[in-house]
Amino acid sequence: MKSDLNPSGAVSLTQNDKTVEFPVFKATHGPDVFDIRSLYKQTGAFTFDPGFTSTASCESKITFIDGDEGTLLYRGYPIDQLAENSDFLEVAYLLLNGELPNRDQRDWFDSSITRHTMVHEQLKNFYSGFRRDAHPMAIMVGVVGALSAFYHDSTDINDPKQRLIATHRMIAKMPTIAAMAYKYSIGQAFVFPRNDLDYTSNFMRMCFAVGAEDYECNTVLCDALDKIFILHMDHEQNASTSTVRLAGSSGANPFACIAAGIASLWGPAHGGANEAALNMLEEIGSVDRIPEYIECAKDKNDPFRLMGFGHRVYKNYDPRATVMRKACHEVLDALGVRDEPLLQVAMELERIALEDEYFVEKKLYPNIDFYSGITLRALGFPTDMFTVLFALARTVGWIAQWSEMIEDPNQKIGRPRQVYTGAPKRDYIALHKRGS
């Protein structure tokens, strides 16, 4: 990655009659940044920013979010245009390479991904070590973390060829590993990938085909899932992507870094929200019970949150939720379940929340997870597979961000500092001299 950080001015800080200056770097879109890398050296102080809400951890050219406008760009292209006009592997190529592929590039990429979809036969042994009722995300963390034990020929992060193979292996094998986690949980035999199917149809078939009969993928449903995957692919420096970058900054192999990202995504405040949002809709159960849940969400003493609402960055409607909402209606119409009770609850909850002063004042809009759960359940996935599908799609963003970090001339091992407010330095006291 070529760095494009060019000083566009300076900002000064004055402390105890001493003034120091820091360069300002201009962004293509969004906030400029103050380069404070010399802050500690010049002032002896750190910044304090829990959750890094005001901190740019890196320079990136992959994704841009404008939280106030509610826009999301993948390499400059608006997410709604990509979701409507592109497909998973084309967007994956775009995120990895920075440009949409021409015909030859697309054919080469498709062929490479297709030929890496199978997993080592011994990888299957990992599944039988889990209980059948193990959460599929627990299986994903374990099995993906184990990949580095099988693919030693693509773990040297300093070799661009090995990084490319590892990147294609990760993207290609995630659907196979995810489908195997699902099959294992329902006691059905694993289904091999097929080279004549596109990425998402292949995944749907590996999940829903059985030995006794094959699975014909309904194009409306496969297209909807492909769109859902595109929406989930990348999202700047979110918690799981930052986890992948931090793990990768130590030189850890890409398979281990992706496993770390899966673990972070699992949290209900992050990727686990789609599972939590559907569980919440089921708990609410009917439109007339919505007001009591809205009151709980507003009560500071109640830990309940409206799952699928709010976002660290979006203070406007999540543009992915708009596309997700449309895909949800398309799937339910295609399946003839338009009057799905949960959809009625979701639409009424959205309507009420968007009018309620608490949510309006705090700018809490539905996020991508609000409608994805209803859609994924309609596609036939159990609730505990929702975050697995999120991880499948986000693997492209994680590996693209990891590659960018490795190639970034400014990258260092991540090592945040702290403000220490613990006990002052003191001497050891022998047991018999301590108070009772």
Nearer to ligand SDX, 194 or 312 (CB): 312
From 25-33, 110-118, 135-143, 306-314, give the range in contact with ligand SDX by CB under 6 A: 306-314
**Annotated catalytic residue 107:** no
Within 10 A of 54 (CB to CB), how many other CB atoms are there? Answer: 9
Q: Is 57 in the site for ligand SDX (CB under 6 A)?
A: no
Beta bridge partners of 96: none
CB of 42 to ligand SDX, least distance (A): 31
From 93-101, 208-216, 302-310, 341-349, give the range in contact with ligand SDX by CB under 6 A: 302-310
Nearer to ligand SDX, 379 or 391 (CB): 391
Beta bridge partners of 73: 64, 78
From 116-124, 139-147, 216-224, 360-368, give the range in contact with ligand SDX by CB under 6 A: 360-368
Scanning 24-135, the segments in alpha helix (DSSP H) are: 39-43, 79-85, 88-97, 103-114, 124-128
Q: Is 321 in the site for ligand SDX (CB under 6 A)?
A: no
Single-letter amino acid code for the residue at 187:
G
C-alpha distances in Å from residue 91, one per residue of 43, 211, 360: 44, 33, 34
Nearer to ligand SDX, 35 or 356 (CB): 356
H/E stretch holding 12 reads strand 7-15
C-alpha distances in Å from residue 130, one per residue of 127, 180, 181, 213: 6, 12, 10, 27
Q: Is 307 in the site for ligand SDX (CB under 6 A)?
A: yes
Separation between Cα atoms, residue 48 and residue 36, nearest integer Å? 12
From 141-149, 199-207, 287-295, 310-318, give the range in contact with ligand SDX by CB under 6 A: 310-318
Within 10 A of 332 (CB to CB), how many other CB atoms are there? Answer: 19
Question: Burial, 420: exposed, middle or buried (Cβ in 10 Å; 0-12, 13-18, 19+)?
Answer: exposed
Half-sphere exposure of 231 (CA within 13 A, CB side): 27
Q: Is 10 in the site for ligand SDX (CB under 6 A)?
A: no
Separation between Cα atoms, residue 109 and residue 330, nearest integer Å? 30
Q: Is 253 in the site for ligand SDX (CB under 6 A)?
A: no
CB of 238 to ligand SDX, least distance (A): 3
CB of 344 to ligand SDX, least distance (A): 20
Residues 279 to 298: which contact ligand SDX by CB under 6 A?
297
Given the residues 369, 384, 408, 432, the one annotated as active site: 369
Separation between Cα atoms, residue 64 and residue 70, nearest integer Å? 11
Q: Is 309 in the site for ligand SDX (CB under 6 A)?
A: yes
Nearer to ligand SDX, 169 or 235 (CB): 235
Q: Is the dihedral of CA 298, 303, 307, 313 positive or negative?
A: positive
Nearer to ligand SDX, 312 or 326 (CB): 312
Q: Out of 11, 269, 285, 410, which residue is the one contacting ligand SDX (CB under 6 A)?
A: 269
**Annotated catalytic residue 116:** no
CB of 319 to ligand SDX, least distance (A): 11
Q: Is 248 in the site for ligand SDX (CB under 6 A)?
A: no
Nearer to ligand SDX, 270 or 326 (CB): 270
Question: What residue number has its CB nearest to ligand SDX?
Answer: 310
Residue 429 sits at φ, ψ, to 5 deg, of -115, 125
Separation between Cα atoms, residue 260 and residue 248, nearest integer Å? 10
Separation between Cα atoms, residue 248 and residue 225, nearest integer Å? 29
Separation between Cα atoms, residue 405 and residue 399, nearest integer Å? 10
Tokens linked to 400: 């693209």
CB of 313 to ligand SDX, least distance (A): 6
Q: Is 395 in the site for ligand SDX (CB under 6 A)?
A: no
What is the DSSP track for 58-76? S--SSEEEETTTTEEEETT
Using alpha carbons, select from 369, 408, 325, 311 the residue that is nearest to residue 66.
311
Nearer to ligand SDX, 193 or 261 (CB): 261
Given the residues 168, 311, 318, 384, the one annotated as active site: 311
Q: Is 270 in the site for ligand SDX (CB under 6 A)?
A: yes
Catalog residues that contact ligand SDX under the rule CB under 6 A. 235, 238, 269-271, 273, 297, 305-313, 362, 364, 367, 369
Query: Could you give the residue numbers annotated as active site?
Result: 311, 369
